[in-house]
Chain A
């Protein structure tokens, strides 16, 4: 989409390295997202997906490199999970007004859009997993974001629940026209809904249109040839070689490899 590529990007990461307690999680990442663009990040556990999102949000300090956001950028953020302390009484209505107060009709409209009507007066701690995620989404929509960020927003939902959730997102992009940046394990959703897919494993392995990425050797190395959803992750082979035209080193693929290998072993044991 040339019009998108030409537009001023909402967020630009240049050569960014992020470390948790001195071991780098992301190294030399270049990333930008244009207005209205839908970008999905895929990658095995521990590959830095959430770290990348939180860097875009501004919640993490970068060790080196530059992060720039367009002037007056509004971000709607739906975190992976949100723990609400039981000592904090919070109705859905009150939650929607954090931090910016909204009027009743707006709050109702946002809940309706997110598929969570009629929850207005419930306590946040009393919601089911699916309801909770929808309320989080409704709150993220209320600031009329330029950029909506979803971090594995359907984690903990069953198959029909998450399918319904992503249908909602699909509709939202048509009505709101905001850019969406999401992490997802559900590869069929990713392939159907994204303009661009980024395959992450501590660095960006490959990126591009879904069809392009699906046929890229780096992606196949990470996810196998099938895109049959989450189990594909566990078929992750680590004997692969990247084609090193990308010009960065892959030194810390190993760390991610260990975690994934454990998962792989666990899956084998189950079978």
Chain B
């Protein structure tokens, strides 16, 4: 019996992997006000699951392609005079609806829809772990490589241009990273709660940080703590794991903001 044979250890490792990749990306999602963008990409992945099942390809590939497609469509259209929040509202929910309808056509396959909507972290196997950590490493490497350029174009597109950086390319890199995170996080928290895992740790880290890098590190710590702690609580109280992880992160967000209120009062 090896270390990875315990389903709890596998679940914890899966949670930690996703939290580590979600932290830096989540910070960009918060800074660039892309929260809905994350939602839309995540919701589109249910359609990816339906397609993957009907064509009998890997779920991971199906989700990745669909999320990438959604991300590209949104970032292309939002530059063309559509109101972005309306556009995202339409795309996010209609892709979820189309996905659910598409899944219902797959009558031949026994499908546990709940597992995709809310995650099934306790069922993570060794191959899933490999995909999750591979994806997380890819996202972290990508963001590490483009860090300075990404930050500059997040700050101001014209400043980026003046420094010879193409903000459109950086946007594409974020879209790609987002698709990978969505694809690896489905097993952990499910389609409906991925955006929470991106945004809540980053938002909780904000009051403690004075630079972007510190905010990312603190977000990673909060994310990892929520994943491991949430798993433990879910085991203890027999609650659904994905939602429990998000609940714990939300409590941490509340605490961090209470701290900020005290800081402001004492100023």
Contacts and interface: CB of A to CB of B under 8 A. Distances in A.
Given A57-B162, A82-B155, A88-B31, A99 B210 contact: no
Interface in A48-107: 54, 57-59, 75-77, 79, 82-85, 87-91, 94, 98-101
Contact of B214 (A89, A123, A149): A89
Contacts of A84: 155
Interface string B122-150: 00000000000000000000000000110
Interface of B: 30-33, 81, 148-149, 151-152, 154-163, 165, 203, 206, 209-212, 214-215
A123 B210 contact: yes
Nearest to B203: A87
**Chain B facing A: main interface SS:** helix
Contacts of A19: none
Contact of B162 (A75, A85, A87, A90): A75
Interface of A: 21, 54, 57-59, 75-77, 79, 82-85, 87-91, 94, 98-101, 123, 143, 149
Nearest to A80: B158
Contacts of A90: 155, 211-212
B148 A99 contact: yes
Given A89-B212, A91-B210, A99 B152 contact: yes
A91 B210 CA distance: 7
B238 to A, nearest CB: 36
B215 to A, nearest CB: 6
11 contacts: A21-B81, A57-B158, A59-B157, A79-B159, A82-B159, A87-B30, A88-B212, A98-B155, A99-B151, A99-B165, A149-B162
B158 A77 contact: yes
B163 A143 contact: yes
A99 B163 contact: yes
Can you list the 8 inter-chain pairs with the closest CB atoms, starting with the nearest?
A77-B162, A59-B161, A99-B148, A99-B152, A89-B209, A59-B158, A88-B31, A75-B162
B203 to A, nearest CB: 7
